[in-house]
Structure 1
Amino acid sequence: MTTTTGRPHGNAKYHLEKCRCPICRQASRDYENNRYRAIAYGRWQPFVPAEPVRQHVRALGEFGIGWMRAARLAGVSTGGVSKLLYGDRPRNLEPSRRVRPETALKLLAVEPTLENLGDRTPIDGTGTRRRLQALVCAGWTQSELARRMHMNRANFGRTIVRGLVEVATVKTVRCLYDELWRTNPVEAGVPAHRAAAARQIAASRSWAPIGAWDDDQIDDPDAFPDWTGYCGTPKGRSIHYRIKVPVCPPCRTAANQQQTAA
């Protein structure tokens, strides 16, 4: 996927932009292995090596979690984390070589989850696009969704198709989707003719409806919507034709395999 963030290939790009190149996959494995080894230092002892903890804090920075934010999330002093990274500057001392095990465990417990990332951090927008597009399929107009998100119409139009979005937008869209996915837009005040026009626009662009996504797949870039209830089986392709929706890759694969076996 082409991005404009300038983020280098590595662990952060693997998780935030879903890049699956060999460099990013290896960086993610190395990060997790290092973290697990570091957590193992939690066995009681007065001090533990600081380097794994320092690497973890620096890795969090790649996700947009600065060291001060990491300290607050961990519930440890910013002064201690400053010394861990930069040393005691007034006394011209080198960065800490050892840290208390309880401090290490608290810092290592901070992970780059959506809740911990900074609101302006750009991340993969797959789930955001799918949720907004599914709401349009249900008859919610883009203007109404933009209004509810306190976003101007032009920015919303870019968000609904954008590859990367900010964390704050992801959170807003998830809340909006949870609020609206079972609500009839006409009963909520959207004029019937505008709701019908929204559904027509969604159909013309082959946007997947709400029922096509499971909660555990809607954010997965590699997942496909289950348009038919039988997608991924030979029966699915015929249903695609009946409902006039382009055949999805899983149904096409299943049909080809059936023909080959025959």
Structure 2
Amino acid sequence: MSERPHGYARYKLDGCRCYTCGYAVSRYDENRTKAIIAGTWQPWVDAEPVRVHVRSLQSCSMGLRTIAALAEVDRKRLQSILNGRPERGTGPQEKVRPALAAAVLAVEPTLENLAPRTLISPLGTRRRVHALVAVGWPQHHLAEHLAVSPGNFSQTLGRPNVLVSRALEVRAMYEDLWRADPTERGATPAGIERAKRYAAERSWAPPGAWDDDTIDDPTAHPDWTGHCGTTRGVDAHAEHGIPLCPPCRTAAEKRQLRRTAHALSAARA
């Protein structure tokens, strides 16, 4: 007995003629006829975007079995799209069903979808640790939270890559600690002050300067003031004694150029 749920596929592939399967086929045929009349019938789409996307996912260390499972499609279907069926003398598929294309294209190489030992950029991991130190978390406390020695913790931050498993652990730690009071977790006032001073000397941005959708973005900069990149942000930096961030440094230079141009214009008048 087939384990497929009752519906169109079971009617066509397993010969089931129960009411549910028959009704599913009837609805399919009705919708198909309407779509053909309306000129919107599209039973097949180009397989190339699917093929490119799968290759891109594989370049991120995602295996074909994982991709198939996430898309809820048969792995052999993906193999046919990529390489065809050599045993049958066929090349890569040129067309696929729209539903399969949509399912595969929806799969993204998120941390949760990558293998735990995949190496990735450490940028987001570093930013999260730096942000916690900036609000007073001593680094040895963060190392204890991750159950690693302070030495290994420092080495992890200094490496050119970080394991996905470690990145997920740091992300979970960040979510747990960024709004917490370090004193309630055993940090001393002196340790907190040292951590803040250490971060300030290195211009490490606190959690409030990052959004969840930018902290992993290599092109993003922390928004220290809520107006960074504008002259208002430049003034806020000065008011609070915060070193200028790159966007505000650019805004300050542009303002100075405008002032210089205005002064020259006034001198000629």
TM (norm. structure 1) is 0.70
Q: 1:114 aligns with which of 111, 115, 135?
A: 111
Residue 94 (structure 1) aligns with: 90
Mapped partners of 1:88, 1:252: distance in 2? 58
Seq. identity, %: 45
Distance 2:227 2:101 in 1: 49
Call closer, same or farther: CA 1:183–1:64 in 2, change over 3 Å: same
User: Relative CO higher for 1 or 2, CA cutoff 8 Å, sep ≥ 6?
Assistant: 1
Query: Which string of whole-angstrom CA distances, capped at 9 and with x for unpartnered residues, describes residues 68-105 of structure 1?
Result: 1111111112233334334445x353344356513333
Secondary structure, counterpart of 1:186 in structure 2 = helix
Among 143, 150, 155, the alignment partner of 2:152 is: 155
Contact kept? 2:135, 2:206, Cα under 8 Å: yes
Q: Deviations over 1:7-46 (max 9, x none)?
A: xxxxxxxxxxxxxxxxxxxxxxxxxxxxxxxxxxx9542x
Bigger shift: residues 132-141 or 165-174:
165-174
Show the counterpart of 1:55.
52
Please tell me whether residue 253 in structure 1 is matched to residue 250 in structure 2.
Answer: yes
Match runs of 1:74-93 below 5 Å: 74-88=71-85, 91=87, 93=89
Deviates most, 71-80 or 115-124: 115-124
* Shift, 1:190, TM fit: 1.8
Q: What is the CA-CA distance between 1:183 and the residue it aligns to?
A: 0.5
Letter in 2 for 1:76: V
Aligned to 1:217: 214
Aligned residues: 219
Matches within 5 A, 1:1-262: 44-45=42-43, 48-88=45-85, 91=87, 93-98=89-94, 100-101=96-97, 102-234=99-231, 236-237=233-234, 239-241=236-238, 243-262=240-259
CA contact (8 A) 1:129 1:162 kept: no
What is the CA deviation profile of residues 173-227 of structure 1, one whole-angstrom value per residue up to 9, with x for unaligned ones?
Answer: 2221111111111112223332222222212222122222233432332333233
Change (3 A) 1:43 1:157: farther
Aligned-pair Cα RMSD in Å: 2.9
Provide closer, same or farther for how the CA distance between residues 257 and 51 of structure 1 changes in structure 2, counting only shifts above 3 A: closer
More moved, 204-213 vs 113-122 = 113-122
TM-score (norm 2): 0.68
- 1:29 alignment partner in structure 2: none
Say if 1:129 and 1:159, in contact at 8 Å, map to a contact too. Answer: no
Q: Which has the larger radius of gyration?
A: 2
CA contact (8 A) 1:138 1:209 kept: yes
Write the distance in 1 (CA, Å) between the matches of 2:182 and 2:110. Answer: 32
CA distance in 2, matches of 1:210, 1:220: 15
Unaligned runs of 5+ in 2: 1-39, 260-269
AA in 2 matched with 1:78: R
CA contact (8 A) 1:87 1:94 kept: yes
Decide whether the 8 Å contact of 2:228 with 2:248 is kept in 1: yes
More helix as a share of residues:
2
C-alpha contact 1:133 1:160 (8 A) present in aligned 2 = no
User: What secondary structure sits across from 1:187 in the alignment?
Assistant: helix
